[in-house]
């Protein structure tokens, strides 16, 4: 009879420890739709950076009377900012991939 | 494109500020505290339950340990009892057989005594008969009735001789 | 006006009650009516569902708790413990956008968040708010956000403008993403609805397509609200902790 009870009790102890430990970790965060948010971010952020660069350059051109040079420079900088953002998102994604594996 | 009607911007912004502020107040003052209260209550309850379960588990473990100790003790005791019982039984059997042996011996002695008694009785009877036979046969043979004492002595003598044989 | 039948008509602002305070137009529009509806529905959902305060939640209470847990874990994971004080604001933002997107999917209703001015207002508040928090907390050290760590000083004249542009493009991408997503989905549904009428019996094909888009739109309505909340958290984290990757 005691031979049946001993392993059952140990199993209970394991389960209690498991349940007790789970409440400290964040189960929700691992399930949140993070990957999808990344893909949404990339395209818009590149276009937005390009747009902000273009508009900024155009405004500065208006102030300094340097049409169209600052517009061209800032379009280039905007594109660079967009690509840099994409590059950062990609490295971040890879880092998280490595961490999860 | 209606999104580019700049004249519509202001009324939208005004009402956005009003409604957003209202929602912020409702959320931070009413809805969020209530949800937080429920979630915290549940987390507390779960932690409590887990703690209690762990306590019950250790209690059960303790009980099991005690039970095992008791069981071991009982087993030992049982062993002792059975050994004692066997010894007692053996002793009893021994004393019983001794008693019956004694009784048998007694009976044997008794029987011997009885046999002896019967034998001496029979012997006495035999002497009487022998005396009688001697008397009658002497009388018939020689026509003289012998003296009772003489006969007896003679028989006694013969019997003594017989006994020696 | 109603006879134009453009797929963009659904985004039109109609003044239900004309109101002016001085020269300021504060008319109660269909957009304002939906905003009020959003506040009412969201508040009812988040309070009535929790009325029972049940230990074991029912379906509605689970949904309310899920919203709370999602935003709470987003703030916790992206901002950290000092993001707690901003949680009510981020939660309100998430709920407002979520319910604006979701209620806009009801036929004949209006999608507040399909208007760039509304989404830009949200984005501007987040942008200005995080910038103020950053300067308030780190003073001028906040400007180091524009100088990426571990970069040679010679590249700074090139990289600093790039960082500034990407910082300034945050509210633009934030607002354009939300408004464009809401507008595109709704316009597509309207366009295909027009096809259904035009094609008669053969209109079953676009009808099936509409159902598929509609299902997708429901998911997008949620995801866009979530993306907005996540990005707000990331910008807030930048303002609170500068570079800490």
Mean pLDDT over C172-201 rounds to: 87
Evaluate if residue A100 carries a pLDDT over 80.
Answer: no
Tell me the pLDDT band of C189, cut-offs 50, 70 and 90. Answer: confident
| CA–CA distance, C51 with B156 (Å, rounded to integer) | 135
Tell me the per-residue pLDDT of A9-28, one tens digit each, with 9 for 90 and over. Answer: 788 888 888 877 654 444 44
| Nearest chain A residue to B42, by CA | A23
CB pair distance less than 8 Å for C53 and B37: yes
Residue C35 pLDDT exceeds 90: yes
SS3 category, C25: strand
Is A44 an 8 Å CB contact of chain C? Answer: yes
Report chain C's mean pLDDT, rounded to a whole number: 89
Residue A30 pLDDT greater than 60, yes or no: no
For chain A, say whether C244 makes contact (Cβ under 8 Å).
Answer: no
Q: Average of pLDDT values for C150-169? A: 88
Where do the structural domains in chain B lie, given as residue ranges? 2-164
Question: What average pLDDT does this structure show over B142-158?
Answer: 80
C147 contacts C159 by C-beta, under 8 angstroms: yes
Residue C180: partners with Cβ closer than 8 Å, 6 or more residues away:
A44
Q: What is the DSSP string of C8-22?
A: TGGG---EEE--EET
List CB contacts (< 8 A) between C145 and chain A. none
Residue C1 scores a pLDDT above 50: no
* Other CB atoms within 10 A of residue C245 CB: 10
Q: Which residue of C lies nearest to A47 if distances are taken between CA atoms?
A: C173
Which residue of C26, C28, C65 is in closest CB contact with B35?
A: C65
Q: Which of B24, B1, B30 shows the shortest CA–CA distance to C38?
A: B24
Q: How far is C185 from chain B (nearest CA, A)?
A: 15
- Whole-number Å distance between alpha carbons of A82 and C147: 16
Q: Is the pLDDT of residue B164 over 70?
A: no
As given in the structure block, the two tokens for residue C60 are 């509605």
The closest of A2, B126, B16, B133 to C96, measured between CA atoms, is B16
Helix, strand or coil for residue A25? coil
CB C173 within 8 A of CB C120: no
How far apart (Å, rounded) are the C-alpha atoms in residues C231 and B16?
A: 21
Q: Cβ of C42 under 8 Å from any chain B Cβ?
A: yes
The per-residue pLDDT for range B30-54, each reduced to its tens digit, is 999 999 998 888 888 888 988 898 8
Average pLDDT over residues C7-33: 87
C176 → chain B, closest CA residue: B3
Average pLDDT over residues B101-106: 93
pLDDT 10s digits, C223-239: 999 999 999 999 999 99
Pairing mode of beta strands C28-29, C15-17: antiparallel
Measure the CA angle with vertex B142, ends B137 and B146; round to 5°.
70
Cα B25 versus chain centre, distance:
80
Sign of CA dihedral B79, B80, B85, B91: positive
B20–chain C Cβ distance below 8 A for any pair: yes
User: In C104-203, which ranges are continuous DSSP H helix?
Assistant: 116-138, 156-199
pLDDT score of A67 more than 90:
no
Measured distance CA(B140)–CA(A64) in Å, rounded:
198
**Cα(B161)–Cα(C190) distance, rounded to whole angstroms?**
159
Question: Which helix (H) or strand (E) element contains residue A77?
Answer: helix A69-100
How far apart are alpha carbons B116 and A95 in whole angstroms? 123
pLDDT band at C3 (very low <50, low <70, confident <90, very high): very low
Any idea what the Cα angle at residue B134 is, between residues B128 and B137, rounded to 5°? 135
- Closest CB to A9: pick one of B46, B50, B61: B61
Which tens digit of pLDDT belongs to each residue from C69-119? 999 999 998 898 989 999 999 999 999 999 999 999 888 889 999 999 999
- Check residues B87 and A27 and name the one with the higher pLDDT: B87
For range A75-83, the mean pLDDT? 92
Residue B96 pLDDT: 93
If one compares C159 and C40, the residue with the highest pLDDT of the two is C40
What mean pLDDT is predicted for residues C24-45?
A: 94
Query: Residue A56 and residue A43: Cα distance in Å, rounded?
Result: 20
User: Residue B125: is its pLDDT beyond 90?
Assistant: no
Per-residue pLDDT band for B149 (boundaries 50, 70, 90) equals confident
The predicted structure's pLDDT at residue B157: 81
Q: How confident is the model at residue A39 (pLDDT cuts 50, 70, 90)?
A: low
Q: Scanning every residue of chain B, which has its alpha carbon at the shortest distance from the alpha carbon of C117?
A: B9
Number of C-beta neighbours around residue C244 at 10 A: 8
Chain C residue numbers touching A25 (CB-CB < 8 A): none
Backbone region of residue B143 per phi and psi (left: phi > 0; alpha: psi in -120 to 50; beta: other values):
left
Shortest CA distance from C75: residue in chain A: A29
Would you list the domain boundaries of chain A? 2-100
A54 part of contact set with chain C, CB < 8 Å: no
Chain C residues with CB-CB distance to B10 below 8 A: 24-26
* Mean pLDDT, rounded, for C206-219: 88
Instruction: For B11-44, give the DSSP string.
Output: HHHHHHHHHHHHHHHHIIIIIHHHHHHHHHHHHH
Question: How many CA atoms lie less than 13 Å away from C174 in the CB half-sphere?
Answer: 29
Cβ <8 Å between B68 and A2 = yes
> What's the count of helices (H) and strands (E) in chain A, helices before strands?
4, 0
pLDDT recorded at residue C38: 97
Type and span of the H or E element at A100? helix A69-100
**Residue A90 DSSP SS3:** helix
Q: Quick one: pLDDT band at residue C173, thresholds 50, 70, 90? A: very high
Cα C179 versus chain centre, distance = 8
Q: Is B163 left (phi over 0), alpha (psi -120 to 50) or beta?
A: alpha
Residues in chain B with CB shorter than 8 Å from the CB of A28 are: none
Structure confidence at residue C125 (pLDDT): 96
Looking at this predicted complex, what is its ipTM? Answer: 0.89
pLDDT value at residue A28: 45
Quick one: tokens of C68?
A: 């709370």
Short-list B136, B125, B128, CA closest to B152? B128
pLDDT at B123: 78
Neighbours of chain C (3+ CB pairs under 8 A): A, B
Supply the mean pLDDT for chain B.
88
What was the pLDDT predicted at A31? Answer: 46
């Amino acid at each position: 009879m005691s031979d049946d009870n001993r392993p059952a009790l140990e199993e209970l102890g394991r389960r209690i420890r498991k349940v007790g430990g789970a409440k400290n970790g964040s189960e929700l965060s691992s399930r949140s739709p993070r990957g999808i948010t990344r893909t949404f971010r990339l395209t818009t952020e590149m276009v937005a950076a390009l747009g902000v660069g273009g508009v900024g350059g155009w405004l500065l051109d208006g102030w300094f009377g340097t049409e169209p040079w600052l517009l061209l420079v800032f379009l280039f900088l905007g594109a660079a900012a967009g690509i840099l953002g994409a590059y950062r998102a990609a490295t971040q994604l890879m880092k998280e991939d490595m961490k999860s594996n | 494109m209606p999104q580019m009607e700049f004249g519509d911007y202001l009324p939208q912004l005004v009402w956005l500020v009003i409604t957003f502020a209202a929602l912020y107040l409702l959320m931070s003052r009413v809805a969020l505290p209530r949800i937080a209260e429920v979630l915290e209550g549940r987390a507390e309850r779960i932690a409590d339950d887990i703690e209690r379960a762990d306590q019950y588990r250790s209690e059960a473990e303790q009980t099991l340990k005690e039970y095992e100790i008791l069981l071991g003790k009982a087993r030992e005791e049982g062993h002792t009892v059975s050994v004692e019982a066997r010894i007692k039984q053996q002793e009893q059997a021994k004393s019983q057989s001794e008693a019956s042996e004694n009784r048998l011996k007694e009976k044997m002695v008794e029987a011997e005594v009885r046999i002896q008694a019967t034998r001496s009785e029979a012997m006495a009877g035999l002497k009487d008969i022998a005396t009688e036979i001697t008397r009658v046969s002497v009388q018939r043979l020689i026509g003289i009735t012998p003296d009772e004492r003489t006969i007896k002595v003679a028989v006694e003598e013969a019997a003594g001789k017989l006994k020696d044989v | 006006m109603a006879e134009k039948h453009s797929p963009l008509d659904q985004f039109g602002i109609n003044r239900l009650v004309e109101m002016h305070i001085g020269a300021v137009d504060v008319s109660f529009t269909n957009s304002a009516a939906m905003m009020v509806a959003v506040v009412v529905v969201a508040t009812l959902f988040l309070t009535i569902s929790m009325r029972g305060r049940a230990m074991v939640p029912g379906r509605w209470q689970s949904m309310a708790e899920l919203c709370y847990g999602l935003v709470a874990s987003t703030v916790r994971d992206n901002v950290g413990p000092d993001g707690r004080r901003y949680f009510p604001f981020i939660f309100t933002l998430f709920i407002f956008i979520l319910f604006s997107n979701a209620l806009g999917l009801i036929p004949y209703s209006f999608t507040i968040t399909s208007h760039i001015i509304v989404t830009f207002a949200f984005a501007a508040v987040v942008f200005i708010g995080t910038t103020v928090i950053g300067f308030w907390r780190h003073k001028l050290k906040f400007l180091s956000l524009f100088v990426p760590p571990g970069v040679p000083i010679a590249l700074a004249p090139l990289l600093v403008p790039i960082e500034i542009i990407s910082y300034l493009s945050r509210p633009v991408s934030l607002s354009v993403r939300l408004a464009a997503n809401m507008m595109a989905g709704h316009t597509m549904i309207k366009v295909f609805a027009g096809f259904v009428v035009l094609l008669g019996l053969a209109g079953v094909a676009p009808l099936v397509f509409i159902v598929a888009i509609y299902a997708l739109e429901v998911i997008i309505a949620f995801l866009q609200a979530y993306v907005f909340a996540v990005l707000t958290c990331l910008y807030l984290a930048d303002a609170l902790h500068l570079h800490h990757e």
